[in-house]
Amino acid sequence: MGKTEYRAKARDLRQALFAAQSDLLEERVSGVILVAGVDAAGKGATANQLNAWMDPRWITTRAFDGPTDEERERPRWWRYWRALPPFGSLGIFLSAWYSEPLQERVNGGNRAAFDAEMDEIRRFEQTLVDGGVAILKIWLHLDRDAQEERFRRLEADPLQRWRVTKADWANWRRYKRFAEATEEILDATDVPEAPWIVVDGSDERRRALDVGNAVLSGLRARIHGAGAPSPTSPIETPVVGGEDSTVIGLDDASVALVKRRYRSDLAVLQARLSRLHRRARESQTSLVGVFEGRDAAGKGGAIRRAVEALDPRRVDVIRVSAPTEEELAHHYLWRFWRRIPRDGYVALFDRSWYGRVLVERVEGLASPDEWSRAYDEIREFERQLVEHRIVLVKIWLDVSAEEQERRFEERFRVAHKRWKLTDEDLRNRSRWHEYDTALTDLLRETDVAPAPWRVVAADDKRRARLEVLRHFCEALEQHLEGVETPSTAELPHG
Amino acid sequence: MGKTEYRAKARDLRQALFAAQSDLLEERVSGVILVAGVDAAGKGATANQLNAWMDPRWITTRAFDGPTDEERERPRWWRYWRALPPFGSLGIFLSAWYSEPLQERVNGGNRAAFDAEMDEIRRFEQTLVDGGVAILKIWLHLDRDAQEERFRRLEADPLQRWRVTKADWANWRRYKRFAEATEEILDATDVPEAPWIVVDGSDERRRALDVGNAVLSGLRARIHGAGAPSPTSPIETPVVGGEDSTVIGLDDASVALVKRRYRSDLAVLQARLSRLHRRARESQTSLVGVFEGRDAAGKGGAIRRAVEALDPRRVDVIRVSAPTEEELAHHYLWRFWRRIPRDGYVALFDRSWYGRVLVERVEGLASPDEWSRAYDEIREFERQLVEHRIVLVKIWLDVSAEEQERRFEERFRVAHKRWKLTDEDLRNRSRWHEYDTALTDLLRETDVAPAPWRVVAADDKRRARLEVLRHFCEALEQHLEGVETPSTAELPHG
């Protein structure tokens, strides 16, 4: 498939997927997209793709590597129950409950145990489906020759070589056995409520579109009921790709140049971030990103560009909005503490604990006493994160009043149905100056070592995104150099 | 102190503590009771006492032994934040964040690090206090001779001998150093917002009363504000001790006999359960208890008698009422899955997943489709628990319509203020027969291996409590014998 054709198709598909995501929320349905398949067929790439093609704030991706001790000490399904996304969200689960039975079957486990296992999986999936979870299962296929070629290509690349292990080759030599076991498993668990979709992984563009289509039709079937017609015009989401913000005062050729330049800069920075992210993982370094800024400052778009460069199995994007009942029954920092990532993982906060001294202050949701002591509390909280050698990057996306207005108008015009301007946005806007004061105080009080703010001019979306990526890269570089010197060994409580 | 004097004082104190607990809920305050002190001064016994003296459904007790891997991979305060009780509840934390600094100080850690640590603790506690958490810190003291005597006494008892380790004696020999370090720590962290209360541990009755009084006045100060007069008549809680249910048609002497007999039977059964619980812990066996029954069937009282026999650091009592927002956004089983205990721990559910086929069915909160498929789902869920070698005991407390009415009247009469009869109770009562049908179906569908129901006649509270304890003992005995035969090694997914 040609690049141009792919691009056009992908663009339409992404818009439709975005729309399906917002339908999920309205319908109180959640989805589990289980991605399994032959080694090197592109499971990780598929997880990346889905995170990049949809809104990652409503997606969690889980790899289910070796269980933690808290998981090991509970019934085996506990870790999957625990990872289930709430209504409105998607969970992308890699291999998950299929990896063990496949291994066991290949290694000649006995038939009765296998059948019992298949039975148990069917019951588990049925239980979820009955309870309002859409389950889509994608099997990525490669034939034996294609797999060999993929391995050889990876080995030829010095940066990718580590991906191919001896075990991979050993499995490849037993390809036939794996294929047979796979067929048995797929046959046994391919039920109408939770069907398998087999996608050929040999052509990457084809695979991406096939996966996108499979997810889209799976979600639509669940949302609109089997057989119901799909909505006539799902394509009304303006944010996809994010390349649509106008570049004022330039002729077409210049616009094209600016866009091309942006794309190439973006690719370079994402590759750099991706490399650093891998090194951070290896040294068990976590990253916490805080995105703050007024409405329409471009937080979501910036987060998406960062997520594209990261391993989605290691990233958690946390949308902070009104606290839940359970969160309200605790100290206000509790909800943030509980989302702090494990070593080697990443959490990106779309709004954060700074809400206490911004929206809660301005709207009178926190008392003067509460918000004024929050500066101290926040400094202490952040100090504790940094002390645990978490790389903490705080981004303030700074949008002007004029540009914000322009974006609100654009939102209103282009997509009033799905992403409509809320009353809250308008109210916030009327309090622009009060927010200004809150922001000044915030910077004075919390723009301090060891967790300074990075203020990014956000009127130009593209430049802002690049700037954000650059800040992430620099923070990681600085830290990783630090980690490699012995001096940090003296840090307390490391 | 004489036994009679102690009993009278303890009784009043317990009633006042109960009342303070319900005030907590009204005031949206939570409490952390930190219990630290000299080895063998009674930290564990104090945790037991507080669980027995108050309503354990609003208490969680945590020992903070070695961190789990999920805890180790996060900033050090994460595990404490995670364990914080929600408003209305109490957390009893044993030693918690004081055990490391004490060890380090005794082992000659440097002064600057120690001061920084004390500083950090003060800030952490201040943050909690500011956010609405009452912090009471109890230091249990024993002098050197008393500690030695306590160790010797434990060593003389074959059942207790294992409690005294070589490390304990080594620490005892360094008693002076521990005492000095303790003094430093207490001085550094004794602040008005989170004061230390030093309680002498040498006389057990004295200690119990001192601890009870300290907790009571600490909670009252937090609830009513410092210096405010304590409520004039907190003693209106009828359930304390639970010995107050009338024994109809007997003369005084017979009543006294019945009560004495009950107390001795209770003690014997609790001792048996306690021993079995220890063996279960050693073999990493968990216990899940389900308590169901109509309103006023005596679930709370039965749970309390079981908790008294168990190690509160290992027990979680879960009150199941209307689901929270977060729980509503998931499959209905999710809220129960997430409370499944780790190996070696205990969870007692005061109402449970059976709500789906009882209250939700009768009140029309679940559709016929939903509740009728729940039998299957529940059987499968329970099978998975048992497969993980969890001992699952399901108790149905069976109260007659007449006795329920009597208890409602009693509640109404004695304690209409705090534990008042809710509208819901009355509504449920008007649907007695619908509940009957639901119960019949429930037993037909879910009284099956491997998790049968144990129906306990509950009109006589005392007999019911003994019966419940007996069921727990028998289930554990059966299981532990099973564990010791090699056949269980063949269980799948063990």
Give the CATH number of the domain where residue B336 resides.
3.40.50.300
Contacts of A218 (CB under 8 A, 6+ apart): A31, A33, A134, A136, A195, A197
| Among A331, A334, A360, the residue to mutate for chain B (most B Cβ within 10 A) | A331
| Maximum CA extent, chain A | 71
Residue B385 to residue A84, Cβ atoms within 8 A: no
Share above pLDDT 90 across residues of chain A, in percent, rounded to a whole number? 70
Token pair, residue B206, equals: 């004295």
- Enter the DSSP assignment of A324: P
- Count Cα neighbours of B146 within 13 Å in the Cβ-side half-sphere: 14
Please give the Cα distance from B470 to A403 (Å, whole number). Answer: 72
Q: How big is chain A, counted in residues?
A: 494
Average pLDDT over every residue of A200-205 = 93
Higher pLDDT, B335 or A422: B335
Please say whether the beta carbons of B285 and B485 come within 8 A: no
Residue A116 to residue B492, Cβ atoms within 8 A: yes
Range list of H helices, B2-77 = 3-27, 43-53, 69-72
Residue A84 to residue B325, Cβ atoms within 8 A: no
Q: How many CB pairs under 8 A join A and B?
A: 136
Using pLDDT thresholds of 50, 70 and 90, give the confidence band for residue B230: very low
Token pair, residue A87, equals: 């209504």
Please say whether the beta carbons of B34 and B93 come within 8 A: yes
Please give the Cα distance from B483 to B465 (Å, whole number). Answer: 27
Using pLDDT thresholds of 50, 70 and 90, give the confidence band for residue A315: very high
Q: Please indicate, yes or no, if residue A233 is contained in any of the structural domains.
A: no
CA of B457 vs chain A CAs: smallest distance (Å): 32
Using pLDDT thresholds of 50, 70 and 90, give the confidence band for residue B150: very high
> Which of B86, B329, B337 is opposite residue A330, by nearest beta carbon?
B86
pLDDT of residue A237: 42
Q: Please indicate, yes or no, if residue A86 is contained in any of the structural domains.
A: yes
Q: Tell me: pLDDT of B233 over 60.
A: no
> What is the b/e burial string over B100-139, where b = at least 16 CB atoms within 10 angstroms of the residue's CB?
ebbeebbeeeeeeebeebbebbbbbbbbbbbbbbbbbbbb
Q: Mapping DSSP to helix (H, G, I), strand (E, B) and coil, where does residue A422 land?
A: coil
**Which residues of chain B does A124 touch, with a Cβ-Cβ cutoff of 8 Å?**
380
pLDDT of residue B422: 61
Q: Please indicate, yes or no, if residue A231 is contained in any of the structural domains.
A: no
pLDDT of residue B236: 37
> Which of B74, B113, B329 is opposite residue A492, by nearest beta carbon?
B113
For residue A102, give the nearest of A160, A199, A185, A226 by alpha carbon: A185
Please say whether the beta carbons of A324 and A86 come within 8 A: no
Higher pLDDT, A161 or B362: B362
Tell me how many helices (H) and strands (E) chain A has: 20, 10
Please give the Cα distance from B494 to B488 (Å, whole number). Answer: 9
Please say whether the beta carbons of A285 and A483 come within 8 A: yes
Please give the Cα distance from A341 to B75 (Å, whole number). Answer: 10
Q: Does A258 lie in the same domain as A197?
A: no
Q: Does A301 lie in the same domain as A184?
A: no
Please say whether the beta carbons of A239 and A300 come within 8 A: yes
Average pLDDT over every residue of A346-352 = 97
Q: Tell me: pLDDT of A486 over 90.
A: no
Please say whether the beta carbons of A297 and A468 come within 8 A: no
Q: What is the mean pLDDT of chain B?
A: 88
**Which residues of chain B does A87 touch, with a Cβ-Cβ cutoff of 8 Å?**
329-330
Q: Does B194 lie in the same domain as B76?
A: yes
pLDDT of residue A258: 85
Residue B131 to residue A332, Cβ atoms within 8 A: yes
CA of B156 vs chain A CAs: smallest distance (Å): 35
Using pLDDT thresholds of 50, 70 and 90, give the confidence band for residue A426: low
Range with the lowest mean pLDDT among A144-148, A203-207, B152-156, B161-165?
B161-165
For residue A368, give the nearest of A377, A376, A360 by alpha carbon: A360
- The residue with tokens 């532990």 is B480
Residues 347-386 of A with CB under 8 A from B: 370, 373, 377, 380, 384-385
CA of A73 vs chain B CAs: smallest distance (Å): 5
How many structural domains compose chain B?
Answer: 2
Average pLDDT over every residue of B360-368 = 93
Please give the Cα distance from B493 to A120 (Å, whole number). Answer: 12
pLDDT of residue B492: 43
Q: Please indicate, yes or no, if residue A99 is contained in any of the structural domains.
A: yes
Q: How many other CB atoms are there within 10 angstroms of residue A486's CB atom? A: 7
Q: Does B288 lie in the same domain as B199?
A: no
> Which of B81, B326, B385 is opposite residue A326, by nearest beta carbon?
B326
Using pLDDT thresholds of 50, 70 and 90, give the confidence band for residue A297: very high
Average pLDDT over every residue of A351-377 = 94
Please give the Cα distance from B67 to B76 (Å, whole number). Answer: 9
Q: Mapping DSSP to helix (H, G, I), strand (E, B) and coil, where does residue B203 land?
A: coil
Please give the Cα distance from B351 to B289 (Å, whole number). Answer: 10
Share above pLDDT 90 across residues of chain B, in percent, rounded to a whole number? 70
Q: Please indicate, yes or no, if residue B151 is contained in any of the structural domains.
A: yes
- The residue with tokens 């289980």 is A34
Q: Phi then psi for A45, rounded to 5 degrees?
A: -60, -35
Long-range Cβ contacts of B331-337 (<8 Å, 24+ apart): B331/A81, B331/A84, B331/A127, B331/A128, B331/A131, B331/A132, B331/A133, B332/A131, B332/B356, B332/B366, B332/B374, B333/A81, B333/A127, B333/A131, B333/B377, B333/B381, B334/A81, B334/A84, B336/B381, B337/A77, B337/A78, B337/A81, B337/A82, B337/B381
Please give the Cα distance from B331 to B381 (Å, whole number). Answer: 13
Please give the Cα distance from B276 to B311 (Å, whole number). Answer: 11
pTM: 0.82
Rounded to the nearest 10 degrees, the angle between the axes of helix B3-27 and helix B43-53 is: 70
Contacts of A179 (CB under 8 A, 6+ apart): A144
Q: Tell me: pLDDT of B226 over 90.
A: no
> Which of B82, B123, B128 is opposite residue A338, by nearest beta carbon?
B82
pLDDT of residue B95: 94
Please give the Cα distance from B106 to A441 (Å, whole number). Answer: 43
Residue A70 to residue B342, Cβ atoms within 8 A: yes
**Which residues of chain B does A30 touch, with a Cβ-Cβ cutoff of 8 Å?**
330
Average pLDDT over every residue of B91-116 = 93
Average pLDDT over every residue of B434-453 = 94
Q: Does A150 lie in the same domain as A277?
A: no
3-state secondary structure B207-269: HHHHHHHHHHHHHHHHHHCCCCCCCCCCCCCCCHHHCCCCCCCCCHHHHHHHHHHHHHHHHHH
Q: Please indicate, yes or no, if residue A238 is contained in any of the structural domains.
A: no
Average pLDDT over every residue of B29-42 = 94
* Residue A432: Cβ-neighbour burial (10 angstroms; 0-12, 13-18, 19+): exposed
pLDDT of residue A409: 85
**Which residues of chain A does B28 touch, with a Cβ-Cβ cutoff of 8 Å?**
329
Q: Does B291 lie in the same domain as B333?
A: yes
- Domain limit, last residue, from B224, B259, B292: B224
Q: Does A290 lie in the same domain as A218?
A: no
Rounded to the nearest 10 degrees, the angle between the axes of helix A144-156 and helix A175-189 is: 120
Q: Please indicate, yes or no, if residue B240 is contained in any of the structural domains.
A: no
Q: Please indicate, yes or no, if residue B145 is contained in any of the structural domains.
A: yes
Q: Does A194 lie in the same domain as A300?
A: no
Q: Does A274 lie in the same domain as A179?
A: no
Q: Which residues span the domain enclosing B87?
A: 3-224
Query: Taking the C-alpha atoms of A178, A179, A181 and A183 in order, what is their torsion angle to the nearest 10 degrees?
Result: 160
Q: Tell me: pLDDT of A228 over 50.
A: no
Using pLDDT thresholds of 50, 70 and 90, give the confidence band for residue B172: very high
Q: Does B354 lie in the same domain as B479?
A: yes
Q: Does A256 lie in the same domain as A218?
A: no
Please say whether the beta carbons of A366 and A377 come within 8 A: no
Facing residues of B350 across strands?
A: B291, B319
Residue A74 to residue B343, Cβ atoms within 8 A: yes
Rounded to the nearest 10 degrees, the angle between the axes of helix B299-309 and helix B461-484 is: 50
Q: Does B202 lie in the same domain as B97?
A: yes
Average pLDDT over every residue of B115-144 = 94
Q: Tell me: pLDDT of A286 over 50.
A: yes
Average pLDDT over every residue of B464-479 = 97
Q: Tell me: pLDDT of A309 over 70.
A: yes
CA of B135 vs chain A CAs: smallest distance (Å): 13
